[in-house]
A and B are shown apart, each in its own frame.
Chain A
Amino acid sequence: MIKIVVGSGKGGTGKTTVSLGLSLSLAENKMPVQYIDCDVEEPNAHLFFKEAEFQKRDVEVLVPEIDKAQCNFCEECAKFCAYNALAIFPNTALVFNEMCHSCGGCKIVCPQGAISEVKRKIGEIHTAIANNKVQISYGKLNVGETQSPPLIRAVKKEIADKNIAIIDAPPGTACPFVETIRHGDFCLLVTEPTPFGLHDLKTAVEVVSLIGVPFGVLINRSDIGDSSVEEFCSNEKIPVLMKIPNDRNIAVAYSNGMPITEADPKYKLEFMELHRKIYERVGNHKR
């Protein structure tokens, strides 16, 4: 139905707090919600659903396997590989799995037909219906693995068309964030009113504008810093859709794995209002 990506640029601004607040408030109002945690390097949302029983399945990528009996060590594959994932010596062919992006090109260029592709596990997807309401899926990248985009793509495939998907994005604005936000309907950028928050917000705005997804800003801990984030948003005509003042109780609740809507139920209404504003903007954008 609608895919809302919650991103930030800077880490630790409250993406998970906001994503949880939104999904739990919507679920309580009987709306079909799916929580998609695309922060596959450090997924955290599941820690807030302590009762949920997660089913897991492996996520695999394809990597080349070289049949040494057929290989004539011509080096065509190694010359072609853009990621230095193959090395050919006079009598040996080596594949560096961690470098491989699974493009499949080496198999096409090999004149001997010596390359086939085999599956390699890079992580897992865990899924549960939490609190009988929210369907949550998260990706968990294996420690030591560099390739998060394929896992992010796999987690996004869990989204069912009929649902409102709340997508918790990884921090930063590099390829994992881009992979998360592609094909999204709206991006909510969570920031804080500090020089770090503002700087990383500007970078995030640049990426989201480039991708062409409509977006708005949520200012978390809105009273800890200065007014520069609000001034920036007002100058750039970026809507500030919600503000959450600093509250030690919310921080303590978060530290114990308790969502903001449980720590302070007044936020349920505010998140419903946030969703209404987002829905309106997505509607306008699609028209």
Chain B
Amino acid sequence: MKELVIISGKGGTGKTSVTASLAVLAENAVLADCDVDAADLHLILEPAASEQGEFKSGQLATIDEDSCIACGQCEAVCRFGAVTKADNTYRIDPLGCEGCKTCEIVCPANAISMRENICGKWYISKTRCGTMVHAALKPGSENSGKLVSLVRKKAREQAEKSGTSMIIVDGPPGIGCPVIASIGGASMVMIVTEPTQSGLHDLKRVIGLAAHFKVPACACINKYDINEDLSYSIEKFCNNNGVEVLGKIPYDLNVTKSMLKKKSIVEYSDGDSSAEIRNIWTAIKLKLRN
């Protein structure tokens, strides 16, 4: 089984648009949206959920106001600034609490208890391109990395069940915890970058991340004609670092138009950008075979 993860470092370079096109071209891959706090792939693939569940992770502290003796020891030990005091009443700010339980153990009045934290929902759905596993992190929640791991695990189960040999994962931006959870143990990552100083800077960091976790990486340059000089520098940097550039997609306003029609660009138009994405897909298949 092959697992391809689409990442970018910098946000908004076109991960999801490229992923949606690859999903269509793959015809019957299992799809996973691991950008759980800004999940957008479902807006193009219009999944119908056949199975869903709650994602619970970690705990949150609460203070029982009647038992609290306002000694302030919880506030003193909390390193997340999650204990707040107003009118001599201590409260937990659920947005700051990381569920470590340290306040619970130091409280001399046993006024603090931990409750389970519901962080989001996961779905297994049918789409026109095959099965899709996706999730919605409760806005502001923690543990997006654990939700990503859950989505990937369920995608693998679906692939095994249906005898599908390919999983395509839409990854999150950045290089932090959800990205690390998305790429660990994958067959290959494809980095969608753009020819901007920011794109190049972020590309370097995300190539470093893939190398750190020993995941093979390839890349494609989106909107390459916005700055052809920089596109050339990016290609050179990639080649020098063993990252093959599989294609260069031109700037194309049809990409936005296709999005408005809930279609991937390869379904919407036969222009240059679609042709290039088809070439990229052929190159990906070849790379994954070797």
Contacts and interface: CB of A to CB of B under 8 A. Distances in A.
B253 A82 contact: no
A9 B227 contact: no
Interface stretch (A23-31, A199-207, A237-245, A263-271): A199-207
A196 B40 contact: yes
| B contacts with A: majority SS | loop
A9 B96 CA distance: 19
B95 A170 contact: no
A210 interface: yes
Given A9-B38, A105-B100, A211-B95, A42 B180 contact: no
A13 B256 CA distance: 13
A100 to B, nearest CB: 10
B86 interface: no
Contacts of B81: 153, 182
Interface in B159-188: 172-180
Interface string A129-143: 000000000000101
A257 B38 contact: no
Given A41-B175, A148-B177, A195 B260 contact: yes
A108 interface: yes
Contacts of A225: 256, 259-260
A232 interface: no
B262 to A, nearest CB: 7
A175 B174 CA distance: 13
Given A172-B38, A256-B227, A101 B141 contact: no
Given A104-B102, A196-B16, A174 B178 contact: yes
Interface residues of B, number: 64
Contacts of A256: 196-197, 227, 230
A176 interface: yes
Contact of B9 (A42, A83, A194, A211): A42
Nearest to B200: A47
Contact of A143 (B36, B175, B201): B175
Contact of B140 (A42, A102, A174): A174
Contact of A144 (B10, B58, B213): B213
A82 B139 contact: no
Most chain B CB within a 10 A radius of its CB, from A172, A226, A257: A172
Interface stretch (B204-212, B269-277, B278-286): B204-212
Interface stretch (A51-59, A247-255, A275-283): A247-255
Given A12-B12, A174-B141, A256-B197, A41 B174 contact: yes
Contact of A101 (B11, B100, B173, B199): B100
A178 interface: yes
B241 interface: no
B256 to A, nearest CB: 5
Contact of A102 (B12, B13, B79, B195): B79
Most chain A CB within a 10 A radius of its CB, from B11, B77, B179: B11
Contacts of B96: 182
B246 interface: no
Nearest to A50: B197
Nearest to A40: B176
B106 interface: yes
Contacts of A41: 173-176, 179, 205
A225 B194 CA distance: 21
5 contacts: A10-B11, A16-B198, A203-B139, A255-B197, A256-B196
Interface of B: 8-13, 16, 36-38, 40, 43, 58-59, 77, 79-81, 95-96, 98-102, 105-106, 137, 139-142, 144-145, 172-180, 194-199, 201-202, 205, 208-209, 212-213, 226-227, 230, 253, 256, 259-260, 262
